[in-house]
Structure 1
């Protein structure tokens, strides 16, 4: 079944399922990011240490992603995607009942171990079951769901925390995850073009091939930078806005992530622009937009900070869509392990983005964080222009 043979009904179901998969991944991934000041006060730990609730699932995802690719390349797609969403309920509920900060971090880490079964396998599924422009559009739909899920996770967690405490936030996330599992179970068609790769040795043999593929490695570098930038910006902006002169609470901090909705529009748009103009040209436009957005966040008025975050995040989500869609294009075979490698490096970037700017933050504040992100954008742009195909 090629992308051309998909019926209208099957195409609609696949788009709904892809959106739900992205939503389920990132509503869980980022739900604590707006709660860091509250968690610091609740558990009597430093603000920097609360960042572990963000980095723990990122580290776990980076560790699990390559293994997930090996398993999925052998045994299939849908059953792992659906099973992971259902199993996410367990650590999410246990996080709600955590009695210590260490326990909360552990359950966040367990969440991270399950998330690659959604992200990695869904991208591999898209690359196998569709092709060409259809694959790029479906990747854009997935990224729209991921972005909307990231926004809703932060907003829902912030609102529930303001009204009922941070534990209620995790219960609300668990209820939403259950609903998404039902949607995926009904809407995601079982894979038709999947070809199992037998033998661990053969699967492991794909990694040297991937690492010798300069296009794929360059895409992984861009992915590293994408999540580094997003985590760096949206972790440390919370501390800036929770302090004087803004004093924003958890609900307001969650509301700041409304800027993510720009990515819901820009992800599918960037896929269409890449099909028409080429991914390198779109990348060359996205990076300057990030720099302009970051410059606006250095201003004092809250509305200018919000506008800068909107512009910056929309442009980064353009880059994320370009990189995610290009993984299956750049990979010659064993697409799931290629996506696993990409996801691992992507989340290593996110882990670094939560930690590396910490020292700069204490010494130089928000301007120092902006400088780091701008430098990362330069590296991403140079790599993409040098190693991505012009088409």
Structure 2
């Protein structure tokens, strides 16, 4: 795997740490700005909303710039936003900083995956994407607790400066390692938008949103479920979260190796696993053993499906930044919607297990979106042949590397 792929992963790690670190800094930020903890929570929502709306807009503005130059611009914008946050004198400035960093992060995801596709090719696309997106997993497992620890010893501004330093290191690594020879296809916006006329691309987007929504409907309320339903002591919660994070890292690595040739079957297996695990969890959430097993399965087969989701989207659309950035926006929208719907269940009086059932329902809906694809692949499967997982290859996309993929493209 080229070194550049790991540099891209470092950038995603920095930005994911920035996205979630506020949740670990809530008491400090609340005291600093004189606002409620709920108001601090809006800083996370603002970041996610900026990713959903602003990322694609910024990507459109960078369409005619070569990939390396576009990535350096985005790192610079993110660095400016993160620095503004570190220096923020009040809540309003911090909110502006979060919006700037959210917009830059969303576009960075898209451009990074597009660069990743160019430097590795179709045969390694899923595996390389798992390395790049592994930064997302590690950001939640390592970045968030590290930022919280820095806050406890040196203050919340030090946490922001630490991410600043990491982002600066990423920019320097991009300058040195990412090849200048990457093509910068000067496509018009109209040409870029033709990819979105493909119904299979939107079906792939829908599956991704439902997977992430299912996971975050439950993940957002892990702590109260663990302590008030399953009966774990508060001191045990960090260990359970660390175990979940470790499971996502393992699952991401495994899925990355399977995503290139078996994206749809992997997604189907993952969604079936999540649906079953959450259904059992909902029924027996009071049992600590069941809780641990369900959390591990959710980590192995939930967010870790991202490489397969990415491989499917690239095959249904293309490997250019706009398609990938919109995919990032769809994932962020699924995250926000899942958390919100899960909270509605609690607010409506259905108890702390209601987010678990919301997650199970969303995962089942995601599985339903895959049924037409699985049916098409089964009906088109030649006797005794291996089954590809990609959707139809659009005009102008990179030619698949495997004979099985060529069969999918002809279909």
**TM-score when scaled to structure 1?**
0.82
Confirm whether residue 173 of structure 1 aligns to residue 163 of structure 2.
yes
SS in 2 for 1:73: coil
Q: Given the alignment of the two structures, is residue 335 of structure 1 paired with residue 325 of structure 2, yes or no?
A: no
Counterpart residue number, 1:218: 203
Name the CA distance, whole Å, in 2 between partners of 1:386 and 1:37.
48
Match of residue 351, structure 1, among 328, 336, 349: 336
Q: CA deviation at 1:312?
A: 0.4
Counterpart for residue 366 of structure 1: 352
Distance in 1 of aligned mates of 2:189 and 2:186: 10
Give the distance between the partners of 1:101 and 1:235, measured in 2 at CA.
24
Counterpart position of 1:7: none
User: Structure 1 residues 71, 242: closer, same or farther in 2, change over 3 A?
Assistant: farther
Q: CA deviation at 1:121?
A: 0.5
> Are 2:200 and 2:316, in contact at CA under 8 Å, matched by a contact in 1?
yes
- C-alpha distance in structure 2 between counterparts of 1:163 and 1:308, whole Å: 34
- Of the three residues 261, 267, 271, the one matched with 2:246 is 261
Summarize the Cα distance change of 1:373–1:51 in structure 2 as closer, same or farther, 3 Å threshold. Answer: farther
Shift of 1:360: 1.9
Match of 1:21 in 2: 11
Q: Which structure has the larger Rg over C-alpha atoms?
A: 2
- Give the CA deviation at 1:49: 4.3
SS of the equivalent of 2:171 reads helix
Work out the CA distance in 2 between the residues paired with 1:361 and 1:103: 33
Question: Is 1:64 matched with 2:50?
Answer: no
- 1:165–1:232 CA distance, 2 compared to 1 (3 A): farther
Q: Give the Å deviation of 1:325.
A: 1.8
Q: How many Å apart are 1:22 and its aligned residue?
A: 2.5
| 2:308 paired with 1:318 | no
* Counterpart selection for 1:152 from 142, 146, 151: 142
Match of 1:134 in 2: 124
How many corresponding residue pairs? Answer: 373
CA deviation after TM superposition for structure 1 residue 44, in Å: 6.3
Q: In the aligned structure 1, how far is the partner of 2:239 from the partner of 2:168?
A: 22
Asked whether the equivalents of residues 225 and 353 of structure 2 are also in contact (C-alpha less than 8 Å), the reply is no
Distance, in Å, in 2 between the alignment partners of 1:44 and 1:293 is 41
- Structure 1 205/229 Cα, relative in aligned 2: closer, same or farther at 3 Å? same
The C-alpha deviation readout for 1:286-326, integer Å capped at 9, x for no partner, is 11322354344863476764543332022113322111122
Identify which range, 11-20 or 159-168, moves more after superposition. Answer: 159-168
Query: Which residue does the alignment assign to 1:95?
Result: 85
Query: Per the alignment, do residues 237 and 166 of structure 1 end up closer, same or farther by CA in structure 2, a change over 3 Å counting?
Result: farther
Higher deviation after alignment, 368-377 or 294-303: 294-303
Tell me if the contact between 1:60 and 1:109 (Cα under 8 Å) persists in the aligned partners.
Answer: yes
**How far did residue 61 of structure 1 move?**
1.0
1:117 maps to 107
Question: Would the alpha carbon gap of residues 90 and 193 (structure 1) be closer, same or farther in structure 2, given more than 3 Å must change?
Answer: closer
CA contact (8 A) 1:210 1:217 kept: no
Q: Which runs of 4+ in 1 moved over 6 A?
A: 242-245
Measured in 1, the distance between the counterparts of 2:139 and 2:180 equals 23
Per-residue CA distance 1:121-174 (angstroms, 9 max, x = gap): 011222334322211221121121221123222111222233344343323322
Check the 8 A contact 2:271/2:301 in 1, yes or no: yes
Mapped contact 1:14–1:187 kept (Cα < 8 A): yes
Choose from 275, 287, 293 the match for 1:291: 275
Shift of 1:118: 1.4
Q: Is the 8 A contact 1:56 1:109 kept in 2?
A: yes
SS in 1 for 2:302: helix
| Equivalent position SS for 1:373 | helix
Instruction: Say if 1:270 and 1:282, in contact at 8 Å, map to a contact too.
Output: yes
Correspondence list, 1:72-91, <5 A: 72-91=62-81
- TM-score (normalizing by structure 2): 0.79
Higher relative contact order (CA 8 A, sep 6+): 1
Contact 1:60 1:112 in 2 (8 A): yes
Contact 1:154 1:257 in 2 (8 A): no
Cα RMSD of the aligned pairs, angstroms, is 3.1
- Aligned partners of 1:215, 1:174: CA distance in 2, in Å? 39
Within-5 A mapping of 1:26-37: 26-36=16-26
Higher mean C-alpha displacement, 80-89 vs 213-222: 80-89
CA distance in 2, matches of 1:154, 1:49: 19
SS in 2 for 1:290: helix
SS across alignment from 1:31: helix
Gaps of 5+ in 1: 1-10
